[in-house]
């Protein structure tokens, strides 16, 4: 439910009763207040020696074009979080309360400056349906504008994701299979573009086996943590398909062309340790302590200055962006043709009629 003007006014009164929340939170409150009441920052930047006003300006300016209503909502949420934590500092909100509404294939939560996007089709090994691609794009767009410092993609259940849901290929529109391939290529391109353009640190928490597109896009993440149960499998030739997610460029760059070819052409499945040795994975954790160790680390990272992290990411990634968009477009174009091939049709039919599994 959206915060009303009355909710906002009551949050403004409530904030005066709180004990000092510290400078970082005060800046956040200031920025959200300005954005909610005046819109995007368009005042001149204070001089470098005017430290306080410059910090305030920076915080406001960092909200970019965040809509007034969203800023108002974020302000109300922030004050309500501060009030409840000062009522009971050890109280933990149940996940159901933090869950953002409107997603059917995902669970999206924001807490401790971390937005967590969890793929949530465990019975189908988190296979990505058209709806899931669209919801992930929506969640990433929202996370790019919310006040979290970092964003995490992970999976619910024993799999991270089994990749593209092969039944995506079955609902053929009346215009025919060519039209299906065309719309699939547009969806794929838009989906991967969202990862290329994502402005904040993006972390994959790979809780179990990963297949296909869930593996290839890892080259666009900033950090990849994996359970030692995870495996990394890109069986494109087996499926009559070809690489996507910019992996035709990022994988040779990350692991060298020979190792990349073994994965992308011959479909060699890597263990988590192998993926780490080849630079695709940042660090591997024992499955028994995976969640605890990873989230402790991420909570610590999320307290680092968010603007510095975003700018460091820009410096690292921006010079490649244009190239990555061109590669994404080309890979999507090639796949559009592949999806119409007999090799691909037969492989998908074999899976759907239970004749083949990876
Ligand atoms: C349209 C735009 C974008 C397109 C981008 C292209 C991307 C390319 C890729 O991602 S290629 C990778 C595609 N993925 C696969 O080929 C995996 C297929 N799945 C399997 O081989 C197996 O299911 C498994 C090895 C992942 C897991 O085997 P296991 O025996 O442990 O489990 P089940 O097979 O019984 O699976 C449980 C149920 O989940 C369904 N399921 C799993 N993965 C997929 C999938 N990718 N697509 C559709 N359905 C999937 C499976 O059918 C079972 O369903 P059921 O319980 O109803 O029988």
pLDDT, tens digit, 9 for 90 and up, residues 37-49 = 999 999 998 887 7
Could you tell me the distance, in angstroms and rounded to a whole number, from the CA of residue 127 to the centre of ligand 1?
A: 6
Q: Alpha-carbon distance 163 to 155, whole Å? A: 11
- SS3 at position 119: strand
Question: Alpha carbon of 158 to those of 121, 143, 155: distances in Å?
Answer: 11, 25, 8
Q: Residue 328 pLDDT > 90, yes or no?
A: yes
Q: Which residues of 115-127 are buried (b: 16+ CB within 10 A; e: fewer)?
A: bbbbbbbeebbbb
Tokens of 343: 């090799």
pLDDT, tens digit, 9 for 90 and up, residues 306-315 = 999 999 999 9
Task: Name the helix (H) or strand (E) containing 133.
Answer: helix 130-145
* 173: exposed, middle or buried (Cβ count in 10 Å: 0-12, 13-18, 19+): exposed
Q: Alpha-carbon distance 358 to 353, whole Å? A: 14
Specify the pLDDT at position 297: 98
Q: How many other C-beta atoms are found inside a 10 Å radius of the C-beta of residue 346?
A: 14
Given the CA of residue 168, which atom of ligand 1 is nearest to it?
1
Could you tell me the distance, in angstroms and rounded to a whole number, from the CA of residue 166 to the centre of ligand 1?
A: 7
Could you tell me the distance, in angstroms and rounded to a whole number, from the CA of residue 122 to the centre of ligand 1?
A: 11
Q: Alpha-carbon distance 1 to 179, whole Å? A: 38
Specify the pLDDT at position 92: 47
Q: Average the pLDDT over 24-28 and give the result.
A: 85
Could you tell me the distance, in angstroms and rounded to a whole number, from the CA of residue 108 to the centre of ligand 1?
A: 23
ipTM of the complex: 0.99
Q: How many other C-beta atoms are found inside a 10 Å radius of the C-beta of residue 90?
A: 5
Given the CA of residue 238, which atom of ligand 1 is nearest to it?
16
DSSP secondary structure letters along 189-226: HHHHHHHHH--S-EEEEE-S-EETHHHHGGGGSSEEEE
Place of tokens 């290929």: 169
DSSP code, position 99? B
Beta partners for residue 109, in sequence order: 99, 116
Strands 202-206 and 231-233: unpaired
Could you tell me the distance, in angstroms and rounded to a whole number, from the CA of residue 274 to the centre of ligand 1?
A: 23
Task: List the end-to-end C-alpha distance of the chain, in Å, as a whole number.
Answer: 43
Could you tell me the distance, in angstroms and rounded to a whole number, from the CA of residue 222 to the centre of ligand 1?
A: 26
Ligand 1 atom 58 nearest Cα: 124
Ligand 1 pocket test target in 120, 121, 127 with most atoms within 8 Å of CB? 127
Please check whether residue 35 is in contact with residue 63, taking contact to mean a CB–CB distance below 8 angstroms: yes
Using a 6 Å CB cutoff, which residues line ligand 1?
Answer: 124-125, 127, 162-168, 184, 187-188, 211-213, 239, 241, 244, 351, 357-358
Specify the pLDDT at position 314: 96
Ligand 1 atom 9 nearest Cα: 212
pLDDT, tens digit, 9 for 90 and up, residues 150-190 = 999 999 999 999 999 999 988 888 888 999 999 999 999 99
């Amino acid at each position: 439910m959206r915060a009303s003007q009355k909710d906002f006014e009551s949050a403004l009164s409530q904030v005066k009763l709180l004990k000092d929340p510290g400078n970082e939170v005060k800046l956040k409150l200031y920025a959200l207040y300005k954005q909610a009441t005046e819109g995007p920052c368009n005042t001149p930047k204070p001089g470098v020696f005017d430290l306080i006003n410059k910090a305030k300006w920076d915080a406001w300016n960092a909200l970019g074009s965040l809509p007034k209503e969203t800023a108002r909502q974020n302000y109300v949420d922030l004050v309500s979080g501060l009030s409840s934590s000062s009522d009971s500092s050890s109280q933990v909100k149940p996940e159901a309360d933090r869950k953002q509404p409107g997603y059917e294939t995902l669970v999206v939560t924001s807490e401790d400056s971390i937005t967590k996007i969890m793929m949530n089709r465990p019975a189908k090994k988190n296979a990505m349906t058209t709806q899931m691609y669209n919801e992930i794009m929506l969640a990433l767009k929202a996370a790019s504008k919310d006040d979290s410092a970092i964003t995490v993609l992970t999976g619910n259940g024993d799999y991270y994701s089994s990749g593209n849901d092969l039944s995506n290929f079955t609902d053929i529109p009346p215009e025919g299979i060519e039209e299906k391939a065309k719309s699939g290529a547009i969806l794929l391109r838009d989906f991967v573009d969202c990862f290329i353009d994502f402005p904040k640190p993006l972390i994959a928490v790979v809780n179990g086996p990963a297949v296909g597109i869930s593996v290839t896009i890892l080259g666009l993440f900033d950090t990849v943590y994996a359970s030692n149960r995870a495996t990394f499998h890109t069986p494109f030739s087996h499926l009559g398909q070809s690489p996507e997610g910019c992996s035709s460029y990022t994988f040779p760059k990350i692991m060298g062309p020979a190792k990349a070819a073994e994965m992308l052409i011959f479909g060699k499945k890597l263990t988590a340790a192998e993926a780490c040795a080849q630079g695709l994975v940042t660090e591997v954790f024992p499955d028994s302590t995976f969640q605890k160790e990873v989230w402790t680390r991420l909570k610590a990272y999320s307290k680092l200055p968010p603007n510095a992290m975003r700018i460091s990411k820009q410096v690292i990634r921006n010079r490649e962006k244009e190239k990555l968009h061109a590669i994404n477009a080309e890979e999507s174009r090639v796949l559009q043709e592949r999806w119409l091939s007999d090799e691909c049709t037969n492989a998908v039919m074999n899976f759907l009629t239970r004749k083949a599994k990876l």
